[in-house]
């Protein structure tokens, strides 16, 4: 909100045209274009004239400043622009961003009113009081769309990446899991997920394929290594959001696959593959990086269902026993697919 008010304050320093003679009101023109669902041109004009009675809409033939206002969606935010075009052809522009179209329109209306009159009211006057002071300005219809810049009586074209964010995601990144083997297991994961655009009881659901491997673990002269490969379906509940499409949510997942242990430097070295299954409970952070890209970080407590005791058979030598709880972490970078 401070950034929005800074825009309104900055236009006070913009050059101003001389007041028209006669009724003492400056003739101005307002050209307004906005996204669907935003205030209409008439509503925007009404906001401006509720704040100041020092201007009127210019009649045909009047020499007047032109205030060109545009509101468009860029990714997950709304961007508002104000171009003040002087009668001599020079112009100045300002830009503001916000999550709500009505809020952006209100700040642009305030900026327009302050550019007209530095003493304009920061709070819009009630409509009945305005009608008692002066005639309400007639609504100004948006100008017809045509090629050109905002300074040529049209707002910038809509962002091709605007609108509802794509719900299907693809992600890839490193993974680490501790305490499921004698050494920490490192690897990576690749997966797809569905993230509803509207907040609800479920904030995300997906599945990924994970591969992890440990370094060599030595027991005396013997050594062992372990490899994990598994599918990991997951489900996340309501997210605590700090901006559109970004937040942190509790998640539950399961690791379903296989673990392969290899023993060497013993009289009878061997490799064995067994079923691997766990339940994971943790927190997932999701941060958008523009309209398409995002980064995800997750930390989980791993509860193994298959708790193996690894040993060398001949001679019988304990290697490691999987505990009742372990830990894991993932970092993913991804993109929205469709």
Q: Which helix (DSSP H) or strand (DSSP E) does residue 74 occupy? A: strand 65-74
Quick count: other Cβ atoms within 10 Å of Cβ 324?
Answer: 9
Confidence (pLDDT) at 184: 96
The alpha-helical segments, DSSP class H, found in the chain are: 2-10, 41-51, 101-116, 127-133
Dihedral angle at the C-alpha atoms of 122, 127, 131, 137, nearest 10 degrees? Answer: 80
Contact call for residues 305 and 321 (beta carbons, < 8 A): no
Was domain 2-152 assigned CATH 3.40.50? yes
Give the angle subtended at the CA of 300 by the CAs of 311 and 284, to the nearest 5°. Answer: 155
| pLDDT averaged over 10-residue windows placed end to end, the chain, 338 residues | 51 46 79 91 92 89 91 86 90 87 90 87 52 47 47 41 73 95 95 82 92 92 93 90 78 96 83 95 90 91 94 82 95 90
CATH architecture of residue range(s) 168-336: Beta Barrel (2.40)
> CA-to-CA distance for 312 and 83, rounded, in angstroms?
77
Coil, helix or strand for 232? strand
Give the model confidence (pLDDT) of 139-177 as tens digits.
Answer: 555 555 444 444 444 444 444 444 567 789 999 999 999
Pick from 254, 203, 202, 204: nearest CA to 232: 254
Whether a cis peptide bond, with omega within 30° of 0, leads into 255 is: no
Q: Tokens standing for 245?
A: 């499409």
Distance CA 121, CA 127 (A): 13
Q: Is the dihedral of CA 147, 150, 152, 154 positive or negative?
A: positive
DSSP 244: T
Q: Which residues contact 65 (CB under 8 A, 6 or more apart)?
A: 16, 17, 26, 28, 29, 84, 85, 86, 87
pLDDT of residue 151: 40
Q: Is the CB of residue 263 less than 8 Å from the CB of residue 312? A: yes
Nearest to 187 by CA among 333, 335, 329, 334: 329
State how far the Cα of 187 lies from the Cα of 256, in Å rounded to an integer: 16
Q: Are strands 326-336 and 293-304 parallel, antiparallel or unpaired?
A: antiparallel
Tokens of 234: 């997951």
Those residues whose C-beta lies under 8 Å from the C-beta of residue 289, and which sit 6 or more positions away, are: 295
> Domains of the chain: which residue ranges?
2-152, 168-336
Residues facing residue 77 across a β-bridge: 74
């Amino acid at each position: 909100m401070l950034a929005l008010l800074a825009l309104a304050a900055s236009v006070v320093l913009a050059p101003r045209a001389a007041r028209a003679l006669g009724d003492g009101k400056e003739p101005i023109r307002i050209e307004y274009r906005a996204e669907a669902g935003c205030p209409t041109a008439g509503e925007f004009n009404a906001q401006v004239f509720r704040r100041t009675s020092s201007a009127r809409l210019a009649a045909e033939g009047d020499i007047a400043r032109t205030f060109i206002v545009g509101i468009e969606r860029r990714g997950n935010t709304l961007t508002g622009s104000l171009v003040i075009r002087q009668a001599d052809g020079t112009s100045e522009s300002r830009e503001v961003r916000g999550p709500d179209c009505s809020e952006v329109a209100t700040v642009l209306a305030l900026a327009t009113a302050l550019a007209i009159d530095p003493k304009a009211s920061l709070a819009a006057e009630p409509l009945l009081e305005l009608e008692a002071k002066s005639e309400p300005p007639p609504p100004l219809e948006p100008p017809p769309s045509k090629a050109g810049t905002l300074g040529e009586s049209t707002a910038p074209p809509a962002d091709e990446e605007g609108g509802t964010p794509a719900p299907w995601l693809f992600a890839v990144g490193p993974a680490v899991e501790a305490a499921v083997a004698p050494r920490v297991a490192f690897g990576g994961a690749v997966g797809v997920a569905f993230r509803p655009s509207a907040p609800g009881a479920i904030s995300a659901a997906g599945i990924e394929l994970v591969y992890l491997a440990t370094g060599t673990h030595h027991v005396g002269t013997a050594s062992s290594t372990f490899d994990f490969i598994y599918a990991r379906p997951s489900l996340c509940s309501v997210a605590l959001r700090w901006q559109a499409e970004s937040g942190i949510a509790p998640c539950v997942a399961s690791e379903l696959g296989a673990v392969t242990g290899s023993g060497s430097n013993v009289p009878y070295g061997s490799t064995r593959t067994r079923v691997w299954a766990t339940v994971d409970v943790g927190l997932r952070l999701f941060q958008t990086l523009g309209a398409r890209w995002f980064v995800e970080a997750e930390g989980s407590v791993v509860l193994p269902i298959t708790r193996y005791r690894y040993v060398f058979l001949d001679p019988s030598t304990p290697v490691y026993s999987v505990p009742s709880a372990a830990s894991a972490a993932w970092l993913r970078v991804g993109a929205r697919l469709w």
